[in-house]
C-alpha cells in the first residue's frame, strides 16, 4: 500500500501551499471592515507597549491580528493537536514497559510508531520557533515593566525558551527512537535483554516525560498568557492527549485488524483500549474541573482572568461545548460495556474525539488572538490537514517498513491467547 505515501506527502505540501496562498485572501474577506485595513502594521508595536500593571494583557489583546499572527496561531493549534498524539504514543509505550503488560503487546508497535512522530514534529517545531515573535507576546515585553514576567523571567526569556524546546523535543525523539530500536532488535533475536533495557528506560523515562511535557506545555501554551499559572496545566494537556490518542489507536487497530494485524488483535485488545478511552474521558473531566474549581474558589485575579477571557463572546459557548461534548456525551455513550465494541458507535466517537480535542486546543490558545469570540480562518483546516497528513505519511511509512507487532516479545503469547472478555456479548474463541 505504498500508494498512500506520496499522496499524503502531496496533501501536506498542498495544504501548506494553499494556506500561504489562500489564507490571506480569505482572512481579508472575513474582515473587510475599514478599520481592519490599517491594522496589520500596528500590532507589532501593540504588544511592545509597556504593560505597567501586572495585567497588561488586556491592552495587547485589543489590537487586530495580522495575517502572519493568524497563521502562526492556527499552526500552533494544529501543532499542539499533533503533539498530543505523539506524546500519548510515547507514554503508552512507557506504561506498557512499566506495568510489564501482556495484553498491549499487540498494540505496542503502533504506539511505538506514534511516539516516533516526535521526530517529524521536531521539524515542524522549526516554523513555530521562526514565528515565535508573532505568537508569544511576552518576548516583546520588558520584564522591568511587568511584574508577572519579572518573577518568571528565569523561564520566560528568549534563550531559555528556545533551548528548552529544542532540548525536550530532542529528548522525546531520542526516547521514542530508542524504545523502537530495542523493540525491533528483539524482533530479530528474541532476547529478554531488550525488555529489560526498555524497562530501565521507561523507569526514568516516565519522570523525564512528566517534567518535560509539563515544561513544554507551559512554554508553548500556558505562556501565551504569561500572567497565568496553573500547576495542573501539564496534566490537563496530557489527559486530553491520551484521550484522543486512545480513540486514534482504537480506530487504527479496528482498521488494521481487518488487514495485516488480524492475527494479534482480539476483542480483548479492542475492549481494553475502549475501556481506557472511557477512563480518560472521566480523567480529563476530573482534571479540567479541578483546575477550574480551584481557580474559581480561590478567586485570585492573577488566575481568574484566564477563564474570564474564555467567557467572553462565543468562547462561553465553546467552553460549554467542551463540557458537554468532551465529557458528558462520550461519558454517557461509552458507559455501557457493549458500545465499546460496536464500530457503529465508536467510529463517529473517534471523529468526535478529534473534533473535541482540536476544539480544546483552540479554547486554550485562540482567545489570546481573538478575544471577542471563536474565529475560524482558512488557516485552521489547512494547518491541521497539513500537519496531520505529514504525520500520517511518516506513520504509514513506518507501519509498512517494520513488522506489524513485536514478533518475539516475551508476552506476545499472553496477548494472543487470554483474550476472552466475559459478559460483553460477543463470542469467545477457544484458547
Nearer to another protein, 145 or 342 (CB): 342
Q: Does 68 bind another protein (CB under 8 A)?
A: no
Q: Read off the DSSP letter of residue 324.
A: I
Helices (H), 257-334: 267-298, 301-309, 315-321, 329-334
425 is an interface residue for another protein by CB under 8 A: yes
Rule CB under 8 A: is residue 324 a binding residue for another protein? no
User: Among 22, 174, 255, 289, which residue interacts with another protein (rule: CB under 8 A)?
Assistant: 289
Site track 329-368 with another protein (rule: CB under 8 A), x = hit: ------xxxx------------------------------
Which three three-digit cell numbers place residue 182? Answer: 530495542
Output 1 or 299, the one with its CB closest to another protein.
299
Contact 77, 380 (CB under 8 A): yes
Distance CA 275, CA 316 (A): 31
Q: How far is the CB of 297 from another protein (least distance, A)?
A: 7
Query: Which of 296, 316, 324, 328 contacts another protein by CB under 8 A?
Result: 296
C-beta of 206 vs 323, nearer to another protein: 323
Check residue 301 for interaction with another protein (CB under 8 A).
Answer: no
Instruction: Decide if residue 431 touches another protein (CB under 8 A).
Output: yes
**Separation of alpha carbons 258 and 1, rounded Å:** 14
Is 293 a binder of another protein (CB under 8 A)? Answer: yes
Q: Put residue 64 in one of left, alpha, beta given phi > 0 → left and psi -120 to 50 → alpha.
A: beta
418 binds another protein (CB under 8 A): yes
- 121-129, 258-266, 403-411, 416-424 -> range binding another protein (CB under 8 A): 416-424
- Alpha-carbon torsion angle 225, 228, 230, 235, nearest 10: 0
CA distance 427 to 424: 9
Residue 30 near another protein by CB under 8 A: no
In this complex, which beta carbon is closest to another protein, that of residue 255 or of residue 293? 293
Q: What is the rounded distance in angstroms from the CA atom of residue 291 to the CA atom of residue 303?
A: 10
Please tell me the count of residues contacting another protein according to CB under 8 A: 20
Pick from 49, 59, 101, 424 the residue near another protein by CB under 8 A: 424
Interface residue with another protein, options 150, 187, 309, 420 (CB under 8 A): 420
Cβ distance to another protein smaller for residue 1 or 427:
427
Closest CB to another protein among 38 and 299? 299
Q: What is the DSSP letter of 42?
A: S
Least separation in angstroms between CB 174 and another protein: 41
- Nearest CA to 240 among 204, 213, 208, 272? 213
Cβ contact 270:259 at 8 Å: no
Residue with cell 508476552: 411
d(CA 153, CA 161): 10
Q: Which is nearer to another protein, 331 or 402 (CB)?
A: 331
State the Cα–Cα distance between residues 416 and 366, nearest whole angstrom: 45
Question: Minimal CA–CA distance to 176: which of 111, 263, 242, 98?
Answer: 111
Binding site residues, another protein, CB under 8 A: 289, 292-293, 296-297, 299, 335-338, 418, 420, 422-425, 427-428, 430-431
Amino acid at each position: 500500500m505504498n500508494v498512500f505515501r506520496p499522496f499524503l506527502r502531496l496533501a501536506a505540501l498542498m495544504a501548506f501551499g494553499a494556506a500561504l496562498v489562500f489564507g490571506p485572501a480569505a482572512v481579508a474577506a472575513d474582515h473587510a471592515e475599514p478599520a481592519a485595513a490599517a491594522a496589520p502594521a500596528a500590532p507589532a508595536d501593540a504588544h511592545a507597549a509597556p504593560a505597567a500593571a501586572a495585567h497588561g494583557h488586556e491592552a495587547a489583546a485589543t489590537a487586530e491580528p495580522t495575517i502572519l499572527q493568524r497563521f502562526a496561531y492556527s499552526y500552533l493549534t494544529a501543532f499542539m493537536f499533533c503533539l498530543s498524539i505523539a506524546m500519548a504514543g510515547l507514554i503508552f509505550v512507557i506504561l506498557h514497559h512499566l506495568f510489564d503488560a501482556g495484553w498491549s503487546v499487540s498494540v505496542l508497535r503502533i504506539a511505538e510508531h506514534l511516539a516516533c512522530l516526535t521526530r517529524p514534529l521536531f521539524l515542524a517545531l522549526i516554523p513555530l520557533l521562526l514565528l515565535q515573535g508573532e505568537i508569544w507576546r511576552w518576548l516583546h515585553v520588558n520584564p522591568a515593566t511587568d511584574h508577572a514576567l519579572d518573577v518568571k523571567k528565569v523561564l520566560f526569556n528568549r534563550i531559555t525558551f528556545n533551548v528548552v524546546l529544542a532540548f525536550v523535543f530532542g529528548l522525546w525523539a531520542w526516547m521514542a527512537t530508542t524504545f523502537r530500536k530495542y523493540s525491533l532488535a528483539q524482533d530479530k533475536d528474541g532476547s529478554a535483554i531488550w525488555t529489560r533495557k526498555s524497562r530501565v528506560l521507561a523507569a526514568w523515562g516516565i519522570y523525564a516525560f512528566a517534567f518535560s511535557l509539563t515544561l513544554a506545555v507551559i512554554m508553548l501554551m500556558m505562556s501565551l498568557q504569561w500572567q497565568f499559572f496553573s500547576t495542573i496545566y501539564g496534566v490537563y494537556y496530557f489527559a486530553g492527549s491520551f484521550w484522543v490518542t486512545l480513540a486514534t489507536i482504537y480506530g487504527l487497530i479496528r482498521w488494521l485488524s481487518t488487514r495485516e494485524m488480524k492475527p494479534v488483535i482480539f476483542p480483548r485488545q479492542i475492549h481494553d483500549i475502549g475501556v481506557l478511552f472511557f477512563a480518560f474521558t472521566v480523567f480529563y473531566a476530573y482534571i479540567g474541573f479541578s483546575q477550574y474549581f480551584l481557580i474559581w474558589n480561590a478567586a485570585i485575579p492573577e488566575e481568574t482572568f484566564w477563564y474570564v477571557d474564555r467567557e467572553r463572546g462565543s468562547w462561553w459557548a465553546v467552553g460549554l461545548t467542551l463540557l458537554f461534548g468532551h465529557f458528558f456525551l462520550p461519558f454517557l455513550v461509552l458507559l455501557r460495556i457493549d458500545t465499546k465494541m460496536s464500530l457503529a458507535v465508536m467510529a463517529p466517537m473517534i471523529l468526535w474525539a478529534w473534533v473535541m480535542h482540536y476544539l480544546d486546543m483552540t479554547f486554550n490558545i485562540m482567545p489570546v488572538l481573538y478575544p471577542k469570540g471563536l474565529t475560524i480562518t482558512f488557516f485552521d483546516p489547512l494547518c491541521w490537514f497539513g500537519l496531520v497528513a505529514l504525520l500520517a505519511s511518516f506513520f504509514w511509512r513506518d507501519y509498512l517498513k517494520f513488522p506489524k507487532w513485536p514478533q518475539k516479545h516475551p508476552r506476545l503469547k499472553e496477548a494472543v491467547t487470554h483474550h476472552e472478555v466475559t459478559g460483553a456479548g460477543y463470542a469467545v474463541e477457544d484458547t
